[in-house]
Amino acid sequence: MRIDIVTIFPEYFGPLGVSLIGKAAERGEITFAVHDLRHWTHDVHHTVDDAPFGGGPGMVMKPEPWGEALDAVVEQGVRRAAGQGQSPAAGQVQAEAVGRGQPPLLVIPTPSGVPFTQRRAVAYAAEPWLIFACGRYEGIDARVADDARSRLRVDEVSIGDYVLAGGEPAVLVMTEAVCRLLPGVLGNVASVADDSFGAGGGPMAGLVEGPSFTRPRLWRNLEVPPVLLSGDHGAIARWRRDEALKRTARNRPDLIRKLAPAQPDVAGVSRDTPRSPLNDHDRSVLSEAGFPVTGEDVAH
């Protein structure tokens, strides 16, 4: 996978050289290219922002440097993919993508974008080439995204319901979420299937993960749950799902409501429609833990 990042703070991306992602980059499985937006300014002050039309606080990033930057990064990427100056693995993937005429996906972090979810991370991990455009101030002149849409797929994406001063930390977050899904980046491939949110459709689909334990068995008078030492893999899997259900109900009731949508009591419609991945055992676990599921338990 190739990832281009355009920013006015290239030094913000030092952490990409660290940890599992840094190792994957060293091996050539991921190629990062961080570009300084000011490279595409032409005034002595390297101006990237200006006051908003219509008035209001803050500054808006000017369209011209962004237009030139994105044109250059796309063109450089296409040329590189044609065969020069890259590690064989990443270059090969990219060359194949461009050979199929696949343009990069442009991702613009903004608090007003669509939510970045595990499902979106999985989709991005299948892309051979991503470009992130980090806005600062009050965002980028809206025509930049509109113009890019005439050539590229463009996603405006938010990492949560809070406001950051710039897109840089959001890009670090998204990069980590995407790159850990790439084959070979995580040591233990199976751990991705059990991830919280289970976008891969594993046993934890739609849930957050329950607690984990390691040695010693007794620590500060706290014991590891005995089932985990039982060797009974069926019982362990069931216990883990129960814990995931309870923790999800406690911390993320919104996710439980998605799994067990309030179903109108329509005659002839089964209670366990395919929309609801919660079975009777799941419902009784939640009910016993004090989280009634859409009044099901009341109806019984």
Instruction: Closer to ligand 6GU by CB, 113 or 292: give it.
Output: 113
Q: Is 140 in the site for ligand 6GU (CB under 6 A)?
A: no
User: Of 74-82, 90-98, 106-114, 183-191, which segment contacts ligand 6GU by CB under 6 A?
Assistant: 106-114
The DSSP line for 211-229 is ----S-SEETTEEPPGGGG
C-beta of 54: minimal distance to ligand 6GU in Å? Answer: 20
Is 66 within 8 Å of 136 (Cβ atoms)? Answer: no
| Residue sitting closest to ligand 6GU (CB) | 109
Give the number of other Cβ atoms within 10 Å of residue 149's Cβ.
Answer: 11
Please enumerate in sequence order all residues whose Cβ is within 8 A of that of 222, keeping only pairs 6 or more positions apart, or say none: none
Burial (Cβ within 10 Å: 0-12, 13-18, ≥19) of residue 189: exposed
Give the number of other Cβ atoms within 10 Å of residue 37's Cβ.
Answer: 25
Q: Is 7 in the site for ligand 6GU (CB under 6 A)?
A: no
Instruction: Closer to ligand 6GU by CB, 61 or 97: give it.
Output: 61
Q: Is 103 in the site for ligand 6GU (CB under 6 A)?
A: no
166-225 residues in contact with ligand 6GU (CB under 6 A) are: 166-167, 170
Q: Is 111 in the site for ligand 6GU (CB under 6 A)?
A: yes
Q: Is 158 in the site for ligand 6GU (CB under 6 A)?
A: yes
Comparing CA positions, the residue from 245, 239, 243, 214 lying closest to residue 227 is 239
Comparing CA positions, the residue from 293, 231, 8, 296 lying closest to residue 137 is 8
Instruction: Closer to ligand 6GU by CB, 77 or 109: give it.
Output: 109
User: Of 49-57, 108-116, 204-212, 271-279, which segment contacts ligand 6GU by CB under 6 A?
Assistant: 108-116
Give the number of other Cβ atoms within 10 Å of residue 280's Cβ.
Answer: 11
Is 296 within 8 Å of 265 (Cβ atoms)? Answer: no
State the Cα–Cα distance between residues 185 and 90, nearest whole angstrom.
14
Position 277, amino acid: P
Indicate which single residue of 95, 121, 148, 159 sits in contact with ligand 6GU (rule: CB under 6 A): 159
Instruction: Closer to ligand 6GU by CB, 168 or 282: give it.
Output: 168
Q: Which residues are catalytic?
A: 111, 138, 180, 195
C-beta of 166: minimal distance to ligand 6GU in Å? Answer: 5
Q: Interface with ligand 6GU by CB under 6 A: which residues?
A: 109-111, 157-160, 162-164, 166-167, 170
